[in-house]
A and B are shown apart, each in its own frame.
Chain A
């Protein structure tokens, strides 16, 4: 503790100035760039790792000299959290960045409103209108099936479920959570074969619904469990039947969270490719009818542009633009979910 500069009788110890973390960060980046250039290290990732290491070490040494051991430990924990945060954010940011950078090239109104009907896979031109229609219809139908069943199952589990049946339902929901998407696709495919039916958007939607349902059940269950029991008792004590209590008191209290959960489940299935490949097959033409014939969908379109185009630059650009559209779609859903959650949250303002 000899290094601690403390004025006797004062509660204030010496502190590093506010800007010191930035200075240390800047310094360690500069040193690591210099080191990297001098030693001829190619990889930027290694530069980043060296900089992170220098940052953590530099913070500790400086803080230990100026502020003392305890504050140095505090600072080291803080800087580790920051480094971990950056490590997590950098890949995400670079993914979004390269999608935007490569996606905007061909993304325009024409691209959004035309199909690939008369355009060869390796030629320029064409668009994703048919794929957008396909994704909206398949995801929409899947949601119409999975959301009510999922929410009702969760209501059963939280409000009514006791004993063996509830345990069995919980067990199967857990099992369903772990089903790989290709297996859900194969399951529906086997039904199609038994019933002697052909590809359709609806078949894909069924597989997506299987994937979506457990997610909805889990998130809705958590939201319902958050509703305080006192509210249920208050309603029951007014002589309100249980089903009305659930409908008018429990669900409105939890509706924001439930909607968020459903939206996130939608976002999750919107990017599924495997079951769509098996069941919807893909179609360069516009097919508005989800119940008859092959359709396209955004993830499937991305995959097929990549796989069928023999390395054509035009097809790659279209794949990136479609990926950007898909990411934007999911992002909008997330924002909508947040908006609804905030709007419906129980009001506490005075």
Chain B
């Protein structure tokens, strides 16, 4: 189910401003890849190019190739809507739909994409909530508003909502930065389980988190403010944290800048 991502020569723009430049990397299926780097170096921008969410921003434009297994996401005739069903996304701030119950939030992706039988939906909702380690906490309040959950529960609800549509890849943009340490731990455990089924890419500001959850780590940096961000190196997480091949990576990880 999980798919490989192969990026080559990718640049992304906001209007005339080039935010990231010439990025090439491979993301292995059934693994967790972490993106680290100082603020503003384009981690979020790059992540959003991987499911064509970048072009939702007014003025957003992308050059280069992103292969999902054998298909180019930016090839002619590719429908961004289909891409986003294959590549799901979890945002920094938990954003459950405020008008919907817990159940409806999880079912939203399926329901909004066509009609399903009630029993089918019930199955998917339970499976997704279990998959997000949330089932036991919410099984008695499925019909209560999703925005009534705690922040950590809301974020797991958003993860359940994302995996309910069975994507091949799951992108997470600092999913724990608005959460307390306990909720963070719950999400990290969850990521460890989800990587059995999905290809996971996670942006994080927390170096320990990258070391704990990821198999591979990519370090991004930018030469100066107003310059485009670049990929400095990507390697096995262990190597990046013990013996990186670029000096800048070592400086960043050891806290000498950023």
Question: Contact residues of A with B, CB < 8 Å?
Answer: 162, 228, 230-241, 244-245, 248-249, 252-253, 346-350
The reply to whether the CB of B108 lies closer than 8 angstroms to some CB of chain A is yes
Partner of B88, one of A237, A249, A346: A237
The reply to whether the CB of B9 lies closer than 8 angstroms to some CB of chain A is no
Question: Number of contacting residues on B, CB 8 A?
Answer: 32
Partner of A241, one of B51, B81, B97, B144: B81
Of B83, B98, B144, B158, the most chain A CB neighbours within 10 A belong to: B98
Closest to A350 in B: B148
Give residues 94-110 of B contacting A (CB, 8 Å).
95-99, 108-109
Bound-complex Cα distance A347 to B146 (A):
9
Contact call A233/B53, Cβ cutoff below 8 A: yes
**Given A236-B53, A239-B109, A244-B112, are A253 and B98 neighbors across the interface (CB < 8 Å)?**
yes
Bound-complex Cα distance A244 to B114 (A):
10
The reply to whether the CB of B161 lies closer than 8 angstroms to some CB of chain A is yes
Bound-complex Cα distance A54 to B145 (A):
53
- Specify which chain A residues have a CB less than 8 angstroms from the CB of B158 in the assembled complex: 234
**Given A239-B165, A348-B147, A348-B148, are A234 and B113 neighbors across the interface (CB < 8 Å)?**
no
**Given A237-B51, A240-B112, are A346 and B147 neighbors across the interface (CB < 8 Å)?**
yes
Contact call A347/B95, Cβ cutoff below 8 A: no
**Given A231-B95, A234-B158, are A347 and B112 neighbors across the interface (CB < 8 Å)?**
no
The reply to whether the CB of B162 lies closer than 8 angstroms to some CB of chain A is yes
Contact call B113/A239, Cβ cutoff below 8 A: yes
Contact call B84/A348, Cβ cutoff below 8 A: no
Contact call A231/B98, Cβ cutoff below 8 A: yes
**Given A346-B147, A347-B145, A349-B145, are A238 and B91 neighbors across the interface (CB < 8 Å)?**
no
- Specify which chain B residues have a CB less than 8 angstroms from the CB of A253 in the assembled complex: 97-99
Interchain residue pairs A-B with the least CB separation, the first 7 = A239-B85, A346-B98, A347-B145, A238-B109, A237-B89, A239-B84, A230-B95
Query: Can you show 16 pairs from A to B with CB atoms below 8 A apart?
Result: A230-B93, A231-B97, A234-B96, A235-B97, A235-B108, A237-B89, A238-B113, A239-B81, A239-B82, A239-B86, A239-B113, A240-B108, A241-B81, A249-B112, A346-B99, A347-B99
Partner of A347, one of B86, B98, B111: B98
Bound-complex Cα distance A244 to B81 (A):
11
